[in-house]
Amino acid sequence: MNFRPRWMAAAPIAIAMLAAPAVSSADVLECYSRDYQYNFCATPSGVSDARLVEQRSRAACVEGRSWGHDRRGIWVSQGCQGLFDYTTHRPPPGPPAGGSIVSCESRDYRQEFCYTDFSIVGAAMVRQKSRTPCIQGQNWGWRPNGIWVSGGCDADFEVRTSYRPGPGPVGPGHVVCESREYAYNFCATGRMRDAQLVRQISQSPCIPGRTWGTTRDGIWVDGGCEAEFRVIPR
C-alpha cells in the first residue's frame, strides 16, 4: 500500500487555500465533537450557509447527520471535527410589514432558541416537520426576540410584528374576545347562560375548555385564541 505522510495529504488543501483570495477569520470556523457528543459552535454574526472545508477527524463528517448549521452557528456530533467555511448572515434593514416565517428545530431533543432580528408580539405554528407533536407551551413557545423549541419539535412558525386590526362590526348579541400575546383575557358580557363560537379569527386554535370558556358573567380566552362568540342570555 502507498502511505503518504499526513502533511503531504493536506498539501493540496493548503496550496488551494493559499491560491484562493484571502478569507477573514470570521468566515472560517473549526468545530469538533468531544467524546462523540453534540457540540454547538456559535458564530459572532450568524450563519446563512456553510460547507465543510477540511475533515480533521477519523469519524466521518456528514452534513445533516454529524454536522449542520442554523442561523446562530455550526453544530457537530458523533466525533466529527472539521474546518467549516460559512457565509455571514446579514439581518434585513427592518422588520417585515406583516408576518414572517421562522423555522426552528430541536435537534437530538435539545432545547433550541431561534432568534429573530426584530421584536415580535405573537407566533403560531404553520407547518410541523417533526414526527414529535409540537405543542405550544410544552415543547415550543415564543419570546419577544424569537422562538424556542425542545423535545424534538421541528416546525415553521409565523411570527407577528404588530397587532392586526380588529375585525369588522359583529351582529347583535355577538362579542369578539382576543387573547393578546397568548395571555389570558376575560371579556365581560353581563349575566349569560352560555356562549357559542361563531367564527375563529386567530390562527391559534380555539378549543372549548382549553383555550376558551365561559362563566356566568362573560367569556375567557387564552393561548392566542381570538374568535367571535354568540352570547346566549339567561
The domain total for the chain is 3
> Does a structural domain hold residue 17?
no
> Residue 26's closest CA among 80, 115, 90?
90
pTM here? Answer: 0.35
> Does a structural domain hold residue 211?
yes
SS3 state of residue 42: strand
Domain boundary at 61, 88, 115, which? 88
Query: Which residues of the chain are under the pLDDT cut of 50?
Result: 1-26, 91-98, 163-166, 168-169
> Does a structural domain hold residue 216?
yes
> Does a structural domain hold residue 63?
yes
> Does a structural domain hold residue 14?
no
Helices (H), the chain: 6-19
Distance between CA 99 and CA 74 in Å, rounded? 27
Are the C-beta atoms of residues 87 and 47 closer than 8 Å to each other? Answer: yes
Domain boundary at 88, 116, 131, which? 88
> Does a structural domain hold residue 186?
yes
pLDDT value for 60:
93
Same domain, 44 and 80: yes
pLDDT value for 44:
66
Same domain, 103 and 155: yes
Express each pLDDT in 153-208 by its tens digit.
999 988 877 544 445 445 578 999 988 877 788 898 888 889 999 888 877 788 88
pLDDT value for 99:
57
Domain boundary at 62, 88, 114, which? 88
Distance between CA 76 and CA 196 in Å, rounded? 51
Are the C-beta atoms of residues 77 and 33 closer than 8 Å to each other? Answer: yes
Same domain, 184 and 134: no
pLDDT value for 9:
38
pLDDT value for 55:
94
Amino acid at 203: Q
> Does a structural domain hold residue 18?
no
Same domain, 154 and 199: no
Who's near 79: CB < 8 A, 6+ residues apart? 33, 36, 57, 58, 59, 66
**Other C-beta atoms lying within 10 Å of the C-beta of residue 123:** 27
> Does a structural domain hold residue 45?
yes
Q: Which domain holds residue 181?
A: 174-232
Backbone angles phi, psi at 10, to 5 degrees: -85, -10
Same domain, 80 and 118: no
